[in-house]
Amino acid sequence: MEKVSRLIQQAREVLQIEAQGVLGLIERVGPEFEQAVEMILNSKGRVIFTGIGKSGIVGRKIMATLNSTGTPSLFLHPVEAVHGDLGVVTADDIVIAISNSGYTKELVNILPILKNLGVRLIAFCGDPESPLAKESHLFIDVGVEREACPLGLAPTTSTTAALAMGDALAVVLINRKQFNTSDFKRFHPGGSLGDRLSIKIKEAMFTKEQIPLVSADQTVRETIFEIDNKKLGASLVVDGRLILLGIVTDGDIRRALLKWKDIMELKAKEIMSKPPKMIDEEKNVSEAITLMEHNAISVLPVVDKLKRVKGIVHLHELLGGKEFRLNGSQ
Amino acid sequence: MEANKTPKGLIVDLITPLDDKGDIDNAGLVSLLKKVLPHADAVLLASPNMGEGSGLSLNLKTDLLKNATTFIQGRIPIFFWISEDSAENTEKTLALLEDLLKLSNYKGEVFWLDSPLYYHSNRGLYDHYQDLTLNTKYPFVLYNDPGLINLLERPLKRCNIRTSILKNLAEIGKIKALIFRGSLTRVNNYQKAVNRRPDFRVYDGDEDRFLEYPSMSGVLSIGSNIAPRIWSNVIRASLGMLEKDREKRDYLNQIWEMGELLKDLRQIYNPNPVWTIKRSLVDLNIIGFHTCTSVTQPFVEEENHLTEFISKHAIE
């Protein structure tokens, strides 16, 4: 038989107890769980989690899981709730209150207020006889038979069980909502965006024929054609050695129209912005984005050490183009 | 109190106070119950361990139940160990105790505690309990105690209820709970077997197990005969029933120290708990005699360190 130290044995026992705690929930998932799912699916509001201590931390994690899988969620701290944060709650919302004992004072205190606001309450709780379970519209049993921490000094199995039940809820909602890969990408720009921000500009910029270019003496008419063809909302103005002299943007054209009656035959150099903002091709994408954000511009010429044009970048393309928008909308 | 609802928390495995003639020491019983009742969630009488149930005659058992119910008056549930050396004798004891409660018109909660393997094999246990539960209006709690069964001189006998058998027994509504002693793996398997019954409780029958990994149903406690308040506090903390006290300064430290104290206490009485605890209860003027039945081994040590420890730490 394998000989193990007391330390390893104890660690295995804890895992055994926690695993059993989660397994014990299987038989208890029943009609009330189904009702909770339907309640959330039919809700026009958000799912608001609340709880104190480690239950609160579990609530925050489930909230994050629901948010990233398409169910708008919030966390409401019970103490902050009675000091003004209740204002975030609307009658359309569903509140999921987490407490293993179901007697947590701060949580029980806000239940009548939440009910008065017209929200529907779901209890994630281990005691069906507790005030929390009795005050709630639905009771989801997350009770466990044994904690893995001596003297119950810290909740262990019970928080694992509540977390697992939250995951069960999230996954069921994913399937019911037919949440798909593109939805997931929409809510998770972080990974691909993070990768994108760290690469060098020369790897992300438009080059060669993609660069909108005119010479200083070309007309505004020709410049507008170039802008229209390359679809970046601007054209770079260069000399014969491709040294950057300036930039003509849609905004420059609007301002020129206000200044002159007929601008079509003017030279590009007469309406261009100079000196233009520019960036070295060896810099990172993140620096280009910062520069554009600070100067409220959406295109940025890329140059080498001699200020010769090597490319151009557009803010939206650097952020992933049509894959996502920062505000989460498509 | 809701009928037949199993209690949660501290079950005091009460010693059976006997006088110098070996009869029930009623004054001692009342005095001890007065000490433990404010802290207990249930009390176990005539248990095979602390209650010396296997050494009590039927007359003593009936006297014990009669005197205890007269004092308790339904304030907390009573567990009473009914197992005898055969199924027939167990049925007879059950019938007699049932009549006693009926005659006294007792209104409180009573649970019959039975160690089935003490007199019956695993085979046929389901049928046995179907019959047994028909003959009583009170619910049952099973007691799985391999230590007790191992003391019996019956070779090849299984000392644990088989998990598959327990799964079947849990289908009998009148069987409400199990007091368990044994390995962690086995109790996990038992828990799986009764998962379909969310109302079914599994109590720890082992104080050490409870202090390490507390069962959320509660524990059968020996030490609560002498330290009921501390045991109650530790159990209530373990079961998350003292949440409001968590805000108090030094709460965790206090609970930790109480747990350590109970472990130290246990070290002292563990070699011979019945004898040691009875001696201390006499020293503390809770009971009048330290008379034990023949099932309790005499203790060789002259000094009783338990009383000294109790006095030193002002344990109530």
User: Checking phi first, is residue B271 left (phi over 0); if not, alpha (psi -120 to 50) or beta?
Assistant: alpha
C-alpha distance from residue A58 to each of A55, A85, A100, A133, A196 (Å): 5, 19, 11, 18, 32
State the nearest Cα–Cα gap between A101 and chain B, in angstroms.
Answer: 6
Count A/B contacts: CB-CB distance under 8 Å.
83
Binary contact (B241, A103; C-beta < 8 A): yes
Closest chain B residue to A126, measured at CA: B216
For residue A143, the chain B residue with the least C-alpha distance is B216
Q: What does DSSP assign to residue A75?
A: E
d(CA A273, CA B151): 99
Across the interface, whether the CB atoms of B214 and A16 are under 8 A apart is answered: no
Rounded-to-integer distance, Cα B80 and Cα A323, Å:
70
Same domain as A235, residue A126: no
Interatomic CA distance for residues A153 and B109, integer angstroms: 32
Partner-chain residue, chosen from A14, A28, A152, that has the shortest CB–CB distance to B239:
A152
Same domain? A122 vs A217:
no
Nearest CA in chain B to A13: B184
Q: A-chain residues within 8 Å CB-CB of B255? A: 151, 153
Are residues A239 and A143 both part of a single domain?
no
Which residues on chain B are in Cβ contact (under 8 Å) with A146?
187, 191, 213-216
SS3 A13: helix
Enter the tokens of residue B184: 């962690």
In a domain, A189, yes or no: no
Same domain, A175 and A204: no
Q: Say yes or no: B21 contacts chain A, CB-CB below 8 A.
A: no
The residue in chain A having the minimum alpha-carbon distance to the alpha carbon of residue B259 is A151
* Range of lowest pLDDT (A231-245, B125-139, B298-312): B298-312
- Whether A184 is covered by a domain: the verdict is no
Q: How far is A132 from chain B (nearest CA, A)?
A: 14
Chain B environment of A104 (Cβ under 8 Å)? 243
* pLDDT tens track, chain A, 330 positions: 567 888 999 999 999 999 999 998 998 899 999 999 999 999 999 999 999 999 999 999 999 999 888 889 999 999 988 888 888 899 999 999 999 989 888 899 999 999 999 999 999 999 898 999 999 999 999 999 899 988 878 889 999 999 999 999 999 998 888 766 666 666 666 666 666 677 788 888 899 999 999 999 999 999 999 999 988 999 999 999 999 999 999 999 999 999 888 889 999 999 999 888 999 988 888 888 888 888 888 899 999 988 999 999 988 877 765 443 333 333
Out of B184, B192, B198, the one facing A23 most closely (by C-beta) is B192
Q: Kindly state whether residues A158 and A104 are assigned to the same domain.
A: yes
Q: Compute CA distances A172 → A36, A132, B43, whole Å.
A: 11, 24, 45
Q: Among A175-189, B65-79, B175-189, B219-233, where is mean pLDDT lowest?
A: A175-189
Tokens of A278: 């520019």
Interface membership of B253 toward A (CB under 8 Å): no
The pLDDT value recorded for residue A324 is: 37
Give the best residue of A145, A157, A158, A160 to mutate against chain B (max B CB count within 10 A): A145
Length of chain A: 330
B158-170 pLDDT per residue, tens: 899 999 999 999 9
* B302 Cβ under 8 Å from any chain A Cβ: no
Sequence-separated (6 or more) residues with CB below 8 Å from residue B102: none
Give CA–CA dist B53/B148, Å, rounded: 12
Q: What is the DSSP string of A243-261?
A: BEEEEEEHHHHHHHHHH-S
Identify all chain A residues contacting B214, using CB atoms and an 8 Å cutoff: 146-147, 150-152
Residue B144 forms beta bridges with which residues? B180
Nearest CB neighbour to B216, from listed A28, A53, A145 = A145
3-state secondary structure of A164: helix
The conformational region for residue A102 under phi > 0 = left, psi -120 to 50 = alpha, else beta, is left
In DSSP terms, A140 is beta-bridged to A124
Q: Is the CB of B1 inside 8 Å of chain A's CB atoms?
A: no
- Alpha-helical (H) ranges within chain B are 26-36, 58-72, 87-103, 125-134, 146-151, 163-169, 184-193, 207-212, 228-238, 251-269, 273-283, 305-312
- Pair of tokens at residue A165: 């039940």
- Is residue A312 within 8 Å of residue A232, measured between CB atoms? yes
Domain range holding A22? 6-179
* Region of residue B159 (left: phi > 0; alpha: psi -120 to 50; beta: else): alpha
A224 domain residue, yes or no: yes
Interface test with A, best of B180, B216, B219, B262 (most A CBs within 10 A): B216
Q: Using N-to-C axis directions, what is the helix angle for B251-269 and B228-238, rounded to 10°?
A: 130
- Cβ of B237 and A152 within 8 Å? yes
In DSSP terms, which residues pair with A238 in a beta bridge?
A215, A244
Q: Is the CB of B196 inside 8 Å of chain A's CB atoms?
A: yes
| Predicted pLDDT of residue A327 | 32
Residues A44 and A141 in one domain: yes
Among B185, B214, B252, whose Cβ lies nearest the Cβ of A146?
B214
| Interface membership of B242 toward A (CB under 8 Å) | no
> What is the DSSP secondary structure assignment for residue A269, as one 8-state letter?
H
Which residues of chain B are within 8 Å of residue A105 when distances are taken between CB atoms?
Answer: 243-244
User: Which residue in B179, B180, B191, B204 has the most chain A C-beta atoms within 10 A of its own C-beta, making it the best mutation to test that interface?
Assistant: B191
User: Can you give the CATH number for the domain in which A230 is found?
Assistant: 3.10.580.10
Are A147 and B238 within 8 A, CB to CB?
yes
A12 and A91 co-located in one domain: yes
* AA letter at A246: G
* Domain end among A121, A146, A179: A179
**For residue B132, pLDDT beyond 60:** yes
Q: Are residues A157 and A274 in the same domain?
A: no
Residue B216: which of A23, A103, A146 has the nearest Cβ? Answer: A146
Complex-level ipTM = 0.77
pLDDT band for position B228 (cuts 50, 70, 90): very high
Cβ neighbour number for residue B147 with a 10 Å cutoff: 13
Does the distance separating the beta carbons of B184 and A152 come in below 8 Å? no
Reported confidence tier of residue B194, pLDDT bands at 50, 70, 90: very high
CATH code for the domain defined by B9-312: 3.20.20.70
Q: Write out chain A residues lying below 8 Å of B215, CB-based.
A: 145-146
Residues 6+ apart with CB under 8 A from A279: A201, A287, A288, A291, A300, A301, A302, A303, A313
CA atoms within 13 A of residue A48's CA, in its CB half-sphere: 23
**Is the CB of B313 inside 8 Å of chain A's CB atoms?**
no
pLDDT of residue A189: 61
Domain count, chain A: 2
Is A13 in the same domain as A150?
Answer: yes
For residue A110, give the H/E element and its range: helix A105-116
Instruction: Kindly give, in sequence order, each residue whose CB lies less than 8 Å from that of residue A49, ignoring residues fewer than 6 positions away.
Output: A59, A60, A62, A63, A73, A74, A75, A76, A95, A96, A97, A98
- What integer pLDDT is reported at residue B2 of this predicted model? 44
CA distance to partner chain B, nearest, from residue A319 (Å) = 47
Q: Contact at 8 Å (CB) between A52 and A106? A: yes
Q: What is the mean pLDDT of residues B95-100?
A: 96
CA distance linking residue A174 with residue B164, whole number of Å: 37
Q: Considering only the beta carbons, identify the residue of A105, A141, A152 that sits closest to B198.
A: A141
Nearest neighbour of B240 by CB, restricted to A13, A23, A101? A101
> Quick one: which H or E segment has residue A237?
strand A234-238
Burial class of residue B228 (count of CB atoms within 10 Å of its CB; 0-12, 13-18, 19+) = buried
Return all residues near B259 (Cβ < 8 A) that are at least 6 apart: A150, A151, B211, B234
**What single-letter amino acid sits at A117?**
L
- Averaged pLDDT for residues B264-289: 92
Query: Is B213 within 8 Å of A20 when comparing Cβ atoms?
Result: no
Same domain membership, residue A213 and residue A123? no
| pLDDT tens-digit series, residues B53-93 | 999 999 999 999 999 999 999 999 999 999 999 999 999 99
Residue ranges of chain A whose CB lies within 8 Å of a chain B CB: 13-14, 16-17, 20, 23-24, 26-28, 53, 100-101, 103-105, 126, 141, 143-153, 155, 158
Report the share of chain B in percent with pLDDT over 90. Answer: 74
Q: Is residue A78 domain-shared with residue A160, that is, in the same domain?
A: yes
Query: Which CATH number does the domain housing residue A107 bear?
Result: 3.40.50.10490
Angle between helices A157-176 and A31-41 in degrees, nearest 10: 50
